[in-house]
A and B are shown apart, each in its own frame.
Chain A
């Protein structure tokens, strides 16, 4: 089982961000949140007493805003709640400005063995344009600090920022690959309701066209792969053996439990460890008070209020397997697509050893390919 823990606090909200994250919250709210989170961890440990935790991922928000003491407390709680707690991968997300040596050391001491840092760009113009509160120099300094303490870490880049050029993208990819064994290169998506969306609508910010971003994705892929970081998922690149086990679990549809506001779960087993008749997906409320209040007024995991709940049919599971599997280098077993007409997307697919996966061009137009075949 994968365990995801969400820490939804940030020093400031980035212009493109529509995740569950809140800026400028007082200490008291953070304290109440952590208290509720601890409570939910306890619930989960009862509910999933029969499952083993394979990986842990502490995401945000900005988990590096946690104090060393809070970090220690959080992981101590996990260890205490799950008696045979021995995950094979524990990732914590950090941001450059708060990834201090103290915080990083606290993560390491608490058992974190993988750091994922949001660099997003090595251009100060880009960073400023989308409301990042660190500079490229600060990111480089943070990479050094991480490198000293962690063997395994990842850097996030965003493609399609206002000041991106093919040259900049190539340089960024080169620098990221030169610094870390794992890089995630996400394309900027304009989400309704974000500051960047409004700015783009009103013409206050100019973003590269889809074709330019498609070029950037090609450049990044080429550059990273030249340096040995192979594309193992649409947006993820790693040296052999450094692929993120936790995220890979999402794409292969492992069971996972998300704790904290806005966290998502895919549940396959009941409290006795038996297979449920139907798999269930759900999320916790994004709103902090709804989450905190919801956790505090119940006494079992299954009673915590959930925001989106869906019971998956066999067809949906099959569609999910296709949709998620085709994101990856491994693709899906050919029989998952038996009986479907693939003639229109043939050129975007590769068949090998009974499996089918998307070509590089196919990955770029994945949605269109998926709507053809699902």
Chain B
């Protein structure tokens, strides 16, 4: 194919600025899918994506566009719209030459707008700003243009003013994709180099690699090799997305498509990895590959212990499609058999939990999310701890390091004070603050990840009435004064409630959790002390008073059935409870502690 007639591009935007809607319009306007068959936001496949208005899994689509009588091929590579998936975004951007930067005309530049722009610039992309939602009364295109020029430094002369929702300005965008975005380069004769920018599991074809061919050419029957693992596979099929899978005879330099090679496991088609030819391998892989590691960990248990195997099956199935999800079996005294799962971030965690519940009809109990700590023991042994119960006794610990992130916050100036206060409470270290313009401030902090995953985002939103936006990236590990906080119910430690927290936060957290548990645990036949402890030291205590009275339905006129039903109901309720020592603890209690706020 003539490279000069190919355009590979992504659409990048802050969440809710209209990325998916624009993608839909482009697909619709180029006739790739007739408007009759359009379901809204075509590229968002999963129900959860449509409901939340975010993209989780990447999608790509090949569009044909007629420009001055010549046919152009557009490969639109959708990117996930969340900070958890930054690495995936960067890899899909690496597969492109250009990006459409969608900015909401009513909102302006936001934290993710910028983080995405930086990612695009890192990958040397040509960026075409597009101002969306101009149909709204509160749209101020000129102000937003100025912001884009001042903050990002992009020229906005002639940039398309559109309403993706109303279909306004879509033709301008299509035309400018041809005019402004560069065609791909690459040498079709050189040894094969294909960048995997996503992979997923297909029930019939196995793990599918979504690739950008950088150099060379690949077709069915070729032997390919994964650079990172050296594993070799036979190509069964190559094709493009239009938007469904459509086989083609070959893919060559500059093209975007998929490779099916009877790969059993998505882990063997890692995002960022380079595929080369087995017979004529390239000398070096493409740059930028890294192994994605989970950042957030939580224990996931079936509410009904008998469904452990169903949960395992479900996790395996999800993992087929999502190599960044990790899990290993663990056993909790309170919750029974379950899994310690690792996620890229909080959203990733929520999505997986939601999919487990929805698509696999599981009722889950999850423990408080935590991060992965680097522990050095006094005997020099080094451990990585992602489950608080595995933390060695304080006496054996030389030091603990916790993961730190660099957080960028965009906010109107009037909330700067509150945000500084919040960041300070969350053990943040101030790095920088700049006035982007009169209406917006960029603040940069280094913050412990375990504070971010606790309630940082909610606090930020509530303290700034939703105006501030947040983005963060990992920024190494640092030594910190961390302790394990244990909860004792009627004197018995409940492993599922243990947390690793900063020493200065332990009292407040312990008190908060004890209070929550007191409300969540129903009164029982005896008094139940609830204690928070560090090591052997009790730092907070609440008491669930003994139950004094049940509903004593009378057996009126010999109606025993009513009484029996009441008892059965009570027994049913009991079945759903977890036993901690001699205390019945409802599943909700484990969830309720996740919602302990420092500031009530």
Contacts and interface: CB of A to CB of B under 8 A. Distances in A.
A213 interface: yes
B536 interface: no
A345 B550 CA distance: 15
A156 B551 CA distance: 18
B567 A370 contact: yes
B571 A234 contact: no
A372 B560 contact: no
Contacts of A344: 525, 582
Contact of A210 (B549, B558, B560): B549
B151 interface: no
Contacts of A57: 557
A259 to B, nearest CB: 11
B550 A251 contact: no
Given A367-B567, A371-B571, A372-B525, A264 B561 contact: yes
Contacts of A369: 525
A250 interface: yes
B554 interface: yes
Contact of A187 (B552, B559, B564): B552
Contacts of B557: 4, 6, 19, 57, 59, 258, 262-264
B480 interface: no
A308 interface: yes
A217 interface: yes
Indicate the member of A250, A258, A368 with the most B CB atoms within 10 Å.
Answer: A368
A34 interface: no
A374 interface: yes
B566 interface: yes
Given A258-B557, A264-B561, A367 B548 contact: no
A177 interface: no
Contacts of A364: 548-550, 552
Contacts of A75: none
B137 interface: no
Contact of A251 (B548, B555, B570, B574): B555
Contacts of A324: 555, 560
A20 B156 CA distance: 77
B573 to A, nearest CB: 9
Contacts of A103: none
A197 interface: no
A283 interface: yes
Contacts of B574: 371
B524 interface: yes
Q: Which range holds the interface residue count of chain A?
A: 35 or more
A189 B561 contact: no
A4 B549 contact: no
Interface in B503-545: 524-525
Contacts of A327: 555
A339 B525 CA distance: 21
Interface string A16-32: 00010000000000000
A117 B582 CA distance: 44
A251 B550 CA distance: 19
Contacts of B552: 186-187, 189, 234-235, 363-364, 366-367
Interface in A265-287: 265-266, 281, 283
Contacts of A367: 550-552, 566-567, 570
A198 interface: no
Contact of B550 (A186, A258, A368): A368
B204 interface: no
Given A250-B555, A371-B570, A374-B567, A365 B560 contact: no
B561 to A, nearest CB: 6
B549 A250 contact: no
Contact of B559 (A283, A348, A371): A283
B547 interface: yes
A258 B558 CA distance: 8
Contacts of B551: 187, 189, 367
B563 interface: yes
A361 B555 CA distance: 20
A251 B563 CA distance: 12
A255 to B, nearest CB: 11
Contacts of B306: none
Contacts of B571: 371, 374
Contacts of B555: 247, 250-251, 324, 327
A365 B549 contact: yes
B284 interface: no
B283 interface: no
A130 interface: no
Contacts of A4: 557-558
Contact of A348 (B525, B549, B560): B525
Nearest to A210: B549
Nearest to B550: A367
A112 interface: no
A211 B567 contact: no
B524 A19 contact: no
A235 B556 CA distance: 11
Interface in B331-385: none
Contacts of A43: none
A256 interface: yes
B550 A366 contact: yes
Q: Which of A211, A345, A371 has the most CB of B within 10 A?
A: A371
A235 B554 contact: yes
A264 B525 contact: no
Contact of B558 (A217, A264, A371): A264
Contacts of B550: 364-368
B570 A250 contact: no
Interface string A165-186: 0000000000000000000101
A250 B582 CA distance: 34
A323 interface: yes
Nearest to A348: B525
Interface string A316-354: 000010011001000000000000000011001000000
Nearest to B547: A365
A360 to B, nearest CB: 11
Contacts of B547: 365, 368
A214 interface: yes
B525 A266 contact: no
Contacts of A374: 567, 571
A184 B555 CA distance: 12
Given A256-B558, A258-B557, A323 B525 contact: no
Contacts of A251: 555
A159 to B, nearest CB: 10
Q: Most chain-A Cβ atoms within 10 A of its Cβ — which of B555, B563, B582? A: B555
B559 A214 contact: no
A263 B549 CA distance: 28
Given A19-B556, A189-B552, A364-B549, 6 more contacts: A234-B552, A247-B555, A250-B555, A365-B525, A367-B566, A367-B570
20 contacts: A6-B557, A184-B554, A187-B551, A187-B552, A189-B553, A210-B548, A234-B554, A250-B555, A262-B557, A266-B558, A308-B561, A344-B582, A345-B525, A364-B548, A364-B549, A364-B550, A366-B550, A370-B567, A371-B570, A374-B567
Interface of A: 2, 4, 6, 19, 57, 59, 184, 186-187, 189, 210-211, 213-214, 217, 234-235, 247, 250-251, 256, 258, 262-266, 281, 283, 308, 310, 320, 323-324, 327, 344-345, 348, 361, 363-372, 374
The 5 A-B pairs of least Cβ separation, nearest first, read: A367-B550, A214-B548, A214-B549, A264-B558, A364-B549
